Amino acid sequence: MLETRFTREFGIEHPVVCGGMTGVGTAPLIGAVAQAGALGFLTALTQPTPEALTAEIGRVRDLTDKPFGVNLTILPTVKPVPYDEYVAAIIEAGVRIVETAGANPAPYMPTFKAAGVKVVHKAVAVRHALKAQSLGVDAVSIDGFECAGHPGEEDIPGLILIAAAASKLDCVLIASGGIADGRGLAAALALGADAVNMGTRFVATDEAPVHQSVKDQIVRNDERATQLIFREFRNTARVARNKVSEEIAEISRRPGATFDDIAHLASGERGRRAVLAEGDVDGGLWWAGQSQGLIDAVLSVQEVVDSVVTDAHQVIAERLPALVRG
C-alpha cells in the first residue's frame, strides 16, 4: 500500500490515475479502473449529449461503487459544445471529481466548487500549472513531453517538468507522460509527485474499448514508434507512428502547407473508426506515448494496477534502501 497526499485528499486507494481519453474513456474501462482502486475519468465529450453522459455515468455505477471522475476538455469547436449542460449533468449525477483540460477552466470553477467537486486540471508547463492553482484547482496533472496527445510546444520531458512543478506548486501533483509501470510511479514520487497518470498503458488492457489489433500493436511497438505531427501549425501532437502519421508529416513539411492539406487524414472520426471498430492500425491517427516501449503484454486493468503498485512499493522499500550506505 502506498499512501500519498493524493490518496488521502481524493479518497482513492492507489496513487494511480487513468485520465480522460477520447473514445476510450467509457464505462467498461473506467469502471474497471475504479474497481481496481485507481481513479479513472470518463470522457464527457465522447458522449454526444449531456443526457448520454448521464447514462454513461450510470453504467459505471453498475460496475463499481468506488469513486471515479469525468474529464471535460474545453476546446474551440466548429459546432458549439453545450459545456454548461455537461457541467450540470456531471453535478446532478453526483460525480465529485472532474478533470479539466484544454482551455482555462475558470468559467466553471465557481459552479464546481459550490457543488463540492474536486477539480484536476491538465497542464503542459509549470506556468500553466501555477495559473490553474491560482484558480483554486485541487490538483494539477502535469504532462511531460513523452506523453500521448498534446505535449505543448516547449519539449520539456517529465524528469525535469515533474520536479520543476513539484518545487513550485502547493496543490496535489499528478505526473503524466512516459509512465507505464511501477518504476515510473516510484520515480514520479521521488520527483515530488503525489500520483501518476497513465493513458497508453490503460489502452493496452482487456477492458479498453479498443480493437485487439491496436492493443497488440502497442505491445509490438517500442519507444521510438511514435511521431510528432502538427508541429508546423503550433499544435504539436504525439501519435503512434503509422502510414497516416508519416503522410501527414511529409505533407506538413512542404512549403506553404496548411492544415486543410491534411485535414482528411487527421479526421478524428477516421481515427476512431480504425482504432475502435476496424483494428486497422494504419487506417487513421491514434494516440500513443513513448511508454509503448515499456508495455510487453495486454493485461486486465486489475493486473496493471496491482503490478504498478506492487513494483513501485518494491523499488521504494527494497531496492532504493539497499543502495544507501552509512
Coil, helix or strand for 30? helix
Residues 15 and 64 in one domain: yes
Tens-digit pLDDT profile for residues 108-135: 999 999 999 999 999 999 999 999 999 9
What's the pTM value of the predicted model, to 2 decimals?
A: 0.96
Last residue of a domain, one of 182, 210, 238: 210
**Which positions ≥6 away from 1 have C-beta within 8 Å?**
13, 309, 313
| Contact yes or no for 292/226 (Cβ under 8 A) | yes
Whether residue 300 is contained in a domain is answered as: no
| Contact yes or no for 14/34 (Cβ under 8 A) | no
Last residue of a domain, one of 210, 245, 261: 210
Q: Which letter does DSSP use for residue 80 in this model?
A: P
The pLDDT value given to residue 202: 98
Reply yes or no on whether the pLDDT at 197 is more than 80: yes
End-to-end distance of the chain based on CA atoms, in angstroms? 27
Other beta carbons less than 10 A from residue 93's beta carbon: 18
CA distance 248 to 244: 6
Reply yes or no on whether the pLDDT at 289 is more than 90: yes
The pLDDT value given to residue 27: 98
Residues 133 and 274 in one domain: no
The pLDDT value given to residue 98: 98
Reply yes or no on whether the pLDDT at 76 is more than 80: no
Other beta carbons less than 10 A from residue 225's beta carbon: 16
Residue 103 sits in a domain whose CATH number is 3.20.20.70
| Contact yes or no for 157/144 (Cβ under 8 A) | yes
Beta strand 195-197 pairing with 172-176: parallel
Rg (CA), the chain: 19
Q: What is the mean pLDDT of the chain?
A: 96
For residue 274, name the pLDDT band (cuts at 50, 70, 90): confident
Reply yes or no on whether the pLDDT at 47 is more than 80: yes
Tell me the residue range of the domain where 22 lies: 5-210
Looking at the chain, the whole-number percentage of residues with pLDDT higher than 90 is: 92
For residue 59, name the pLDDT band (cuts at 50, 70, 90): very high
Tens-digit pLDDT profile for residues 140-178: 999 999 999 999 999 999 999 999 999 999 999 999 999
Q: Which letter does DSSP use for residue 123 in this model?
A: E
Q: Which letter does DSSP use for residue 115 in this model?
A: T
More confident residue, 268 or 196: 196
| Contact yes or no for 178/196 (Cβ under 8 A) | no
Q: How many structural domains is the chain composed of?
A: 2
The pLDDT value given to residue 281: 94
Amino acid at 209: P
Beta strand 237-240 pairing with 226-229: antiparallel
